[in-house]
Chains A and B, each alone.
Chain A
Amino acid sequence: MKLAVLLFFMVLLPVLAGAAADRVFCGAADGRIRPGTVLRGYFLSFFLCEAIALPVLFLTPLGDFVLFARIYAVLLSACAAAGLVFLIRGRKHRTGVSISAYLQKVRDSGPWALLFAAAALILYLFMIYKAYTVASFDGDDAYYVTQSVLSVQTGTMYRYLPYTGITTTVDMRHAMALFPMWTAALSSYSGIHPTIVAHSIEPLVFITLSALTFLRFSGVLFDDADDPDRTGRRAAFMAVVFLLWIFGCVSLYTPETFLLTRTWQGKSVLANLLLPAALCCLLRAGKRPEEREPYAEAFLLCLSSGLFTSMAPVLLLLLTAAGMLFLTLARKDGRIVRGFLPAAGTALAYLIMIMTA
């Protein structure tokens, strides 16, 4: 039962909220849940978490965690309910490829496509299995995970030093990145210990979200619809990506090391979800600058970035600005700059907030 409640808040609601995000931000009305829908739903839910937690942190005595958790649950549920309505209404206009049709496509694409798809699936399931059964040590957990436990046990936010437990004033640098509060909220709804949520459950979600991001990458990188081996190339790309993840631990500093050893930390989400997703948006906008979806997704992504780490708005701003510049030079299309301005502006606004806090 506890796990069902956790999955309800951690998976179902964000995915349904993605349908609302599709309708509101992208103008999509085809009633289908795509990988992009899932990602946009999570970005929206992360933004809601930050948008609610920050004012509660600063405007309530001792940072009322219980109040934040309640408001977050209500607003996330409202977004999910709206998403469900849009999905139901849109089912008559469904376009795109269903999962069964996609699997058939893989089967029809020849033996190498099947082989690489199977390899990618096995590698993905292996990483999921390892994430659940292997513990990794990182000293930063003594801060971030303990912060989640503190909030659940004391009902406050950032009012105790996580290392020792003595009371303190709000540490502005860390308090604005409220990702531990997302973990704490999920724990409070489900009754599952926050450290279990962080170490055993969150990796399953975030590894999957990163995998979805790279799956979308493959779709844009190998976008020649007339290529009979397109599906095979995409499957091969995913297999190589997953192996690079597993064997990317060449130092403590690489995104791959963070992904598989510190998945539940905001820095890992930045390196393995936000930055690749931003680049994917840039790539898609470069290919089809007339489409609204990449710009909307980049905007949502930047809205959510403040939740994870103070570095997130900085790197997203730099990457978006660099991408805008190079794409404009490549395409000579002013829509790209105009399209990404809201995203860049959001990241800049976060940066100003952080620097003046």
Chain B
Amino acid sequence: MREILTILSEYAGGKALAVLYAAALVFLLVREKDAVKRALFVYMPLCILAVFMLPPVYRLYMHIEEAATYYRLLWMLPMTATVAYAAVSLCRGKRFYIGALAGMAAAVLFGSCVYGSRFMAPAENRLHIPQAAVDVSDYLLSLSEGSENVTIAVPGELIHFIRQYDTRLRLAYGREVYVAGWSDRNAVYEAMELPEKIDAAELAEAAKQYRCNFLVLNAVRPMNGDLREEGYELLALLDGYYIYRDPDMPFQY
């Protein structure tokens, strides 16, 4: 039960929009006379919510899907339509605009603007991925001698974007290493991302093991040693990333 309440609480985000929905439900329960609307906007959602709260349902769901997605059952609740309908119905007759304006004010006051989210930023291009990912990819492909299987290692901030641009660039490690339980250990990731200071020798050894043709390193990452002493060629500093090539690693065709 505690897990279910945690999921509910995280879904609501600690904001009063959930309270607004509850208030709209109560309002419709008291005021709505239409049997069909009461059935679909009051009784059915309450029943869905009650079933959602049942621990046996949660345990059954965990057999089918990941527990982390249990909240998606709440998508069956018509929260937006209910709040909007209740707001417009709040005041009878010609005064409907009072309730509607109150609903709009409540949305702004109790909600959270999506465009203020830390996951949103002005798009740098029409792909909506960092321009650095595009530039680095284009540069590496221009050096790949026509190979469509170039293996590279890039830092975490580029991991998600390189292959959204061009899948001819293979990654020594991808998103799977960042999500617990999704993958086994990866030596390149451990050498490149985990230490505070990258050890050049360790990284070079891991990269050769994964047959990396190129290494891309954030220019601000401190390093013990020098990859050039490990046999790598420093090709460029591009968009804040050092780009190294292993001249002994042939391209695959």
Enumerate chain A interface residues (CB-CB to B < 8 A). Answer: 112, 115-116, 119, 130, 132-139, 141-143, 145-146, 149-150, 153-154, 160-166, 193, 195-196, 199-200, 214, 217, 221-222, 229, 232-233, 236-237, 239-241, 243-251, 253-257, 260-261, 267, 270-271, 275-276, 279, 282-283, 286-287, 311, 315, 318-319, 322-323, 326-327, 329-331, 355
Q: Does B175 contact A143, Cβ atoms closer than 8 Å?
A: yes
Given contacts A164-B173, A251-B10, contact A130 B40 (CB under 8 A): no
A200: chain B residues at CB < 8 Å are: 123, 126-128
Q: Does B168 contact A244, Cβ atoms closer than 8 Å?
A: no
Number of chain B residues whose Cβ lies closer than 8 Å to a Cβ of chain A: 82
Q: Is B11 an interface residue (CB 8 A)?
A: yes
A to B CB contacts below 8 Å, 12 in the list: A112-B97, A137-B121, A141-B160, A193-B127, A217-B81, A244-B83, A247-B111, A248-B112, A251-B11, A261-B117, A271-B75, A311-B69
Q: Does B114 contact A233, Cβ atoms closer than 8 Å?
A: no
Q: Does B108 contact A149, Cβ atoms closer than 8 Å?
A: no
A146: chain B residues at CB < 8 Å are: 163-164, 167
A-B contact count (CB 8 A): 262
Q: Does B115 contact A165, Cβ atoms closer than 8 Å?
A: no
Given contacts A142-B174, A163-B176, A276-B81, contact A256 B114 (CB under 8 A): yes
Residue of B nearest to A165 (CB): B170
A233's contact among B71, B96, B160, B164, by CB below 8 Å, is which?
A: B96
Q: Does A318 contact B76, Cβ atoms closer than 8 Å?
A: yes
Q: Does B39 contact A247, Cβ atoms closer than 8 Å?
A: no
Q: Does A249 contact B129, Cβ atoms closer than 8 Å?
A: no
Q: Does A134 contact B120, Cβ atoms closer than 8 Å?
A: yes
A270 to B120, CA, bound (A): 22
Residue of B nearest to A322 (CB): B44
B75's contact among A135, A221, A270, A282, by CB below 8 Å, is which?
A: A270
Residue of B nearest to A309 (CB): B72
B48: chain A residues at CB < 8 Å are: 318, 322
CB distance from B166 to the nearest CB of A (A): 7
Could you list 17 further interchain pairs (A-B, Cβ under 8 angstroms) beyond the known A221-B37, A240-B88?
Answer: A116-B97, A134-B115, A139-B160, A142-B160, A163-B176, A244-B111, A247-B112, A248-B80, A249-B114, A250-B17, A250-B18, A251-B11, A251-B13, A254-B11, A286-B36, A311-B72, A322-B44
Q: Does B114 contact A247, Cβ atoms closer than 8 Å?
A: yes
A267 to B171, CA, bound (A): 26
A258 to B118, CA, bound (A): 15
A139: chain B residues at CB < 8 Å are: 160, 175, 178-179
Q: Does B113 contact A165, Cβ atoms closer than 8 Å?
A: no
Q: Does A237 contact B84, Cβ atoms closer than 8 Å?
A: yes
Residue of A nearest to B170 (CB): A165
Q: Is B181 an interface residue (CB 8 A)?
A: no
Q: CB within 8 Å of A: which of B75-121?
A: 75-76, 78-81, 83-85, 87-88, 93-94, 96-97, 100, 103-104, 107-108, 110-115, 117, 119-121
Q: Does B126 contact A196, Cβ atoms closer than 8 Å?
A: yes
Q: Does A229 contact B120, Cβ atoms closer than 8 Å?
A: no
Residue with the greatest number of chain B CB neighbours at <10 A, chosen from A229, A241, A249: A249
